[in-house]
A and B are shown apart, each in its own frame.
Chain A
Amino acid sequence: MQCAESLRVQAHFDGQVDALCAAEIERHLEHCAECRALLQNLEEVRTRLRRDVSYEGAPPELRSQIMCALDLEVGAVRDIAAAPRRIARGSALGRGRVFWSAIGGGIGGAALAAVVGALLFIPRVDSPLSGEIVSAHVRSLMPSHLIDVVSADKHTVKPWFAGHADVSPVVADFDSQGFKLIGGRADYIDHQRSAVVVYQHGPHVINLFSWVGTHRLPSNATRNGYHLAFWSQGDVEYCAVSDTSWDELLELVRLLREQA
């Protein structure tokens, strides 16, 4: 029933034949009504599929989980390679680890400890601050890792840091300007307990990291699609991270600097 050339016509339609073969098929199409109809059907099916089949990408949560799984995978291999050094450094880091076990207690505690462990054993040289912060930001977007103290009230968030971080950052709510304070979190950045203020801007989460330091800060950068804006105020260094646009991120930075 079907024309013997139908598969070749399809291949031509899919751009899978060379020029010589294409010319042959074009000639065939001129006097084969069945194949002309087939070609029209192929076109119709393609148009419909490309127009109406949803073209969604991987959801951001899945993407962060994957980045984290890769962090763990890289860390696990590095741990094996760096086993002797790990013992030597272990004792000095004891305090931090006890702190993290306490924070992480409950669901995900073990996983969190493993991530922090992996992070700690990465030698400083091949782990610049920006990379560390992006990892922490992505990790925070995983379910139930975002916020330790949920509050839109700066008078709740700021005192909370006193017991949980080594730094007391600027905490302010800019709800009317579109940056809603949603809480705070302690994180481990640059070998200290860093304070993280969490803002929501539309559908985006902005993590504002802060830590004590006076080294030369990296310049603003985009890593893995996340923007990082650095600045310092006194002896406190800040980094705002988000997947929002640069303009919006820098607007929050401007508002924060005005607060000081």
Chain B
Amino acid sequence: MMDDKRARFEAQVLPHLDAAYRFARWLCPAAGEADDVVQDAILRAFRGFDGLRGSEAKAWFLSIVRNCHLTAAKQQQRRAFVPLPEESDAVDGHAMIATTPNPESDSILSDQKQVLERLMASLPQEHRMVLILREIEEMDYAQIAAVTGVPIGTVMSRLARSRAALKSKWLKEVEGKPRAVR
């Protein structure tokens, strides 16, 4: 019975793991935090999987990711301590086999990408969230409402505001550097 549940879970929920990870990365930009949130979310999702009906697995799973992030953020606020720098990173097994340089390293990231990600990061979180869910994950309004826990009307107005804000921030950025290569 457990194997059956596991198989159904792998088929319905795990395909959305990449989306969940991307979403978590935008929710908590600190390195490593997104991993913890996604792991936490997977276990919660698996335990609550019997309650999932219909085909909205993606929205359901991402809403769990958001809840896990909220819980983690609250806990962190309560503890309010500065974490020590990670020292175990250098000796983990993956470092040993990673012989090729990381293709996503800063030097290769284009200037435009960096600017855009910085502008995105400067948006209020609830605005950034709807923008990512709509434009990157291509979810519809009802799904976004389910993930973010707000009415569809609010999703629409947040989308409108975040798009306008991003556009004007971008314009300001370009005007600030009139000779920037476009």
Contact = CB atoms under 8 A, between A and B. Distances in A.
Nearest to A78: B2
Given A54-B113, A58-B17, A77-B2, A49 B135 contact: yes
Interface string B11-48: 00000011011100100000000010011001100110
B124 to A, nearest CB: 16
Given A45-B167, A54-B113, A78-B2, A205 B97 contact: yes
Interface string A130-152: 00000000000111111100000
- What size tier do the contact residues of chain B reach? 35 or more
A141 B47 CA distance: 25
A66 B39 contact: yes
B160 A7 contact: yes
B35 A62 contact: yes
A7 B158 CA distance: 10
B136 A66 contact: no
Interface on chain B toward A: helix, strand, loop, or mixed SS?
helix
A124 interface: no
Contact of A14 (B46, B91, B134): B134
B150 to A, nearest CB: 15
Contacts of B6: 70, 74
Interface string B145-163: 0000000000011011001
20 contacts: A10-B159, A10-B163, A14-B140, A49-B131, A49-B135, A50-B135, A50-B136, A52-B110, A52-B116, A53-B117, A53-B120, A54-B104, A58-B17, A58-B18, A58-B21, A66-B39, A70-B9, A141-B93, A142-B93, A145-B93
